[in-house]
Amino acid sequence: MDDLNGRVAVVTGGGSGIGRGLALGLAAEGMTVAVADIQSANAEAVAGEIASAGGRAFAVEVDVTSVESLAGAAERIVAEAGGVNLLCANAGVLARIAPLADHSLADWEYTLSVNVMGIVKTVAAFLPALRKSAPDAHVVNTASLGGLLAEVQAPIGAYIASKYACVGYSEMLRAELASAGIGVSVLCPGMVASNLLGTSSANRPEAFGAQADPRLTMGDGDGGAPPSDWFMPAEEVGPIVVRAIRANRLHVLTHPQSRPLVERRFRAMLYDFDFAAEARTPSARGEEP
C-alpha cells in the first residue's frame, strides 16, 4: 500500500497507548479509522480526538478474545466504512511482572488469549474484507522488541514468549498472503510511553485471577534506569508505521539504538551453528579423519 488517503484502517487496542498513536498517525494520512477497543469510552475519546483534528474516525467496542465480538465488529466496520484496507492488530496485555516461577497458569492463559490468539482471531475476522481490498491491503501485528530478544531487564517472561509467537506468526502470514497481494508487517517497538499495565488490569476478566502489581522497574543490569531517550511518545509510532507500510517492510522497528542487543542474540545463535558444525567433524566423534 502506498496511497493511504481515502482508505479504511482498523486499529484494535486503539483507545490508548500505541493503538492511539497508530490511529492518530493513520488519520493524519487521510484514512478513515475504526478505533476498536474493549473500553468503548477510550475508543470514543480517540475517535473524537481525530474528528477534532479534521480527520475521519468512529469507535467500535470489541473484545479480541471473542470470535463473536470480532465478527460483529468486522460486519459493522465494513457496513459503515465500505471495506477494510489496513488492519492493525494491536491489542495486547502485560499480565505479570515476576520471575517465570511466579507466573500463574492464569497469567499465561490471559497473556496468550490476547497477545497470541487475539491476533490470530482478529486477522481471521478481517481477512475476508482485506482479500476484497487487495492489493490495497495490509496487516500490521503489534509484537515488541521483546519478540526479537529475551534480553529485557524486567521479569516479564510470559509477555516475551507471547511476543516471540506473534513475530513467528506474522512472518508466516506474510509469506502466505504475499500471493494474494496483502502485505504483512510486525511492529516490534522498544519502550513506548503507555499505560499497558493499567489497561491490562482494567480489562482482565475475573476468570484469570488478580492482575499483577502495577509497579515496574526496568534497569540496565546494574540497578539503573534506561536512558530517557529510549522512551518514545506513542504519537511518534504512527508515522514510523506509515513509512513501513508504504515500503512493505516486514519488521517495523522504533529504536535503532537497540540494534546491538539484537545483533548479540543472532551472533550467539551463529556461534551455536559453528559449534554444531564442529560436533559433526570426524575428530569430534572420535573417528579418524
Whether 239 and 281 share a structural domain: no
Whether 110 and 194 share a structural domain: yes
- 61-115 tens-digit pLDDT: 999 999 999 999 999 999 999 999 999 999 999 998 889 999 999 999 999 999 9
Rounded to whole angstroms, the Cα distance separating 106 from 108 reads: 5
pTM of the model: 0.90
Q: In what order do the strands lie in the sheet with 182-188?
A: 56-61, 32-37, 8-12, 86-89, 137-142, 182-188, 251-253
Whether 32 and 82 share a structural domain: yes
The band of 280, judged by pLDDT with boundaries at 50, 70 and 90, is confident
pLDDT above 60: residue 17: yes
- 222-247 tens-digit pLDDT: 334 455 556 889 999 999 999 999 99
Whether 43 and 142 share a structural domain: yes
- 165-174 tens-digit pLDDT: 999 999 999 9
Whether 49 and 171 share a structural domain: yes
Query: Per-residue pLDDT averaged across 42-63, rounded?
Result: 98
Whether 182 and 273 share a structural domain: no
| pLDDT on residue 153 | 75
Choose between 225 and 189: higher pLDDT: 189
Composition of the chain by helix, strand, coil, percent to 5:
50, 15, 35
159 is catalytic: yes
Residue 151 lies in a domain: yes
Rounded to whole angstroms, the Cα distance separating 36 from 89 reads: 10
Q: The domain that contains 109 carries what CATH number? A: 3.40.50.720
Whether 93 and 157 share a structural domain: yes
Please give the backbone phi and psi of residue 86, each rounded to the nearest 5 degrees, phi first: -135, 130
Catalytic, out of 110, 159, 164, 169: 159
The percent of residues in the chain predicted with pLDDT above 90, rounded, is 76
Residue 224 lies in a domain: yes
Residue 3 lies in a domain: no
The band of 209, judged by pLDDT with boundaries at 50, 70 and 90, is confident
| pLDDT on residue 207 | 81
Q: Which residues of 65-95 are buried (b: 16+ CB within 10 A; e: fewer)?
A: bbeebbebbbebbbeebeebbbbbbbbbbbb
Bond prior to 227 in cis (omega within 30° of 0): no
Whether 166 and 233 share a structural domain: yes
Residue 1 lies in a domain: no
Whether 265 and 242 share a structural domain: no
Whether 52 and 100 share a structural domain: yes
Task: Write down the H helix ranges in 67-192.
Answer: 67-81, 105-115, 117-133, 157-177
Residue 2 lies in a domain: no
Residue 194 lies in a domain: yes
- 251-262 tens-digit pLDDT: 999 999 999 999
Query: For residue 42, what is its C-alpha cell?
Result: 477510550
Whether 282 and 229 share a structural domain: no
pLDDT above 50: residue 139: yes
> Looking up cell 493513520, which residue turns up?
26
Residue 25 lies in a domain: yes
The parent domain of residue 289 ranges over 258-289
The band of 195, judged by pLDDT with boundaries at 50, 70 and 90, is confident
Whether 250 and 262 share a structural domain: no
Residue 277 lies in a domain: yes
Tally of domains in the chain: 2
